Amino acid sequence: MKNPTEHHHDFFSGLEISPDVKSCIVIPVKDEENYILKTLTSFAEQVDLKGRALDPEKFEILVLANNCTDNSVDYIKQFQKNHPNLKIYLDEVKLLPAQANIGYVRRKLMECAFLRLSKNGGGLIMTTDGDTMVAPDWIAQTHQEIENGAEAVGGRILLSDSELSALDEFTLLHHFRDEKYHLLIAELEGKIMNCNNDPNPRHHQHFNGSFAITTDCYTRSGGVPVVDHLEDCAFFEILKGVDARVRHSHDVKVYTSARCVGRTEIGLSYQLNVWKNLGNHVDDYFVESGASIISRLTEKRDLMTLWRMKNLTESDFKRSMKEINPELTVNGEIYKSFLQTTYFGEWHKKVMQLKQATGRKRFPPVHIDNAIKDLQKMVQEYSDYDLAQTSIL
């Protein structure tokens, strides 16, 4: 085991990458003895889109065991011995408290994957978790989405059936409500924004339980930001800022644990625990309203249309901005950034910051059941699309 150090960690140092590897999968592990064998076994069973065994020479798996106090490392080593055909590499490290967080570990692992794949002329950085089983075609389906034009892929993260059955009635109910609410938003966004790179059916997840990004897009983004947790959400905000083509694919699937006590301060396990504590107090479950979501998405669509019109004079620009949002106080700085920014996402962030500083909240939160009913009506109003294709309820 590597000793703690305040200096840069050189994970998997001295380990050469095979020239045939095009996918580097990174998995952070901390005390996952109850799940890690299932996770690794799911990689031993990978197939292509025709159901044939996937060539193990095309991908490698980097497992970083940090600050483990259970049998995780022993299990991983035994799995390596039992599956010599798989390129599974293990690095064990003891991190200092300031670095012993998922944000640091995931960022360093993805940097490591980027550097390794760069030696092969680029490839696909992929990540999942130590308590998650990827579908048999997880690698193949992810590559298919990349071949179809995506630069990054968020897979559908589902709770495993065995663990779903262990959840109490109210936690399960809150989880299903939350899933339906966010799936409806994702569908509505696809319709309003006309997302050619991320069309319906689509979902709302772009989290590290199932995420992949090309090395080219990783370079453009500047990499995972420095945060202690929720690094996937922070990274997604960066990707939006550089107009990355992110696909939320239902064909890319993983199955994760439903534990209510997790390894990170904030995450799925944290949210499940919140719902567990909420119990039958359903009246306390408030979310953004359908009216607010419609307003937000249509405004973004109109801003995107405006952003493409770079020949506008400042007066025409200000008039157009007022038509999009009469309450927004438009200044010369926003017009300057309108002309100079390379990416719409970058400019949109500046507009939202201005809106936050000068605007007011028009729509109060509503109970989630009312929000779901409103969103269902709104989706139906936008098209005759079958809700059952993306809704789990």
- Residues, the chain, total? 393
**What's the whole-model pTM score?**
0.91
Lookup result for tokens 């550097």: 115
**Tens digits of pLDDT across the chain (393 residues):** 554 333 446 899 889 999 999 999 999 999 999 999 999 999 999 999 999 999 999 999 999 999 999 999 999 999 999 999 999 999 999 999 999 999 999 999 999 999 999 999 999 999 999 999 999 999 999 999 999 999 999 999 999 888 888 788 888 888 899 999 999 999 999 999 988 999 999 999 999 999 999 999 999 999 999 998 889 999 999 999 999 999 999 999 999 988 644 455 545 555 555 545 555 555 678 999 999 999 999 999 999 999 999 899 999 999 999 999 998 888 899 999 999 999 999 999 999 998 887 766 779 999 999 999 999 999 999 875 444 333 333
Q: Longest Cα pair distance anywhere in the chain, in angstroms?
A: 70
Predicted local confidence at residue 10, as pLDDT: 83
pLDDT tens figures, 49-75: 999 999 999 999 999 999 999 999 999
Alpha-carbon distance of 370 to 235, in angstroms, equals: 31
Alpha-carbon distance of 143 to 124, in angstroms, equals: 8
What single-letter DSSP state applies at residue 54? P
Predicted local confidence at residue 331, as pLDDT: 87
Q: Before 201, cis peptide (omega within 30)?
A: yes
**Do β-strands 211-214 and 152-159 pair in parallel, antiparallel, or remain unpaired?**
antiparallel
Predicted local confidence at residue 13, as pLDDT: 83
HSE-CB for 204 with a 13 A CA cutoff: 15
The identity of residue 152, as a single letter, is A
CA distances from 207 to 106, 156, 160, 245 (A): 12, 9, 16, 15
CB of 24 closer than 8 Å to CB of 116: yes
Predicted local confidence at residue 279, as pLDDT: 53
Look at residues 157, 151, 150 and name the one whose alpha carbon lies nearest to residue 135. 157
Look at residues 325, 373, 390, 368 and name the one whose alpha carbon lies nearest to residue 173. 368
At 116, list the tokens: 């390794």
Predicted local confidence at residue 283, as pLDDT: 66
The secondary structure element, H or E, covering residue 65 is strand 59-66
Which three-class secondary structure state does DSSP give residue 346? helix
pLDDT tens figures, 321-374: 999 999 888 889 999 999 999 999 999 999 999 888 776 677 999 999 999 999
Alpha-carbon distance of 261 to 68, in angstroms, equals: 16
CB of 72 closer than 8 Å to CB of 58: no
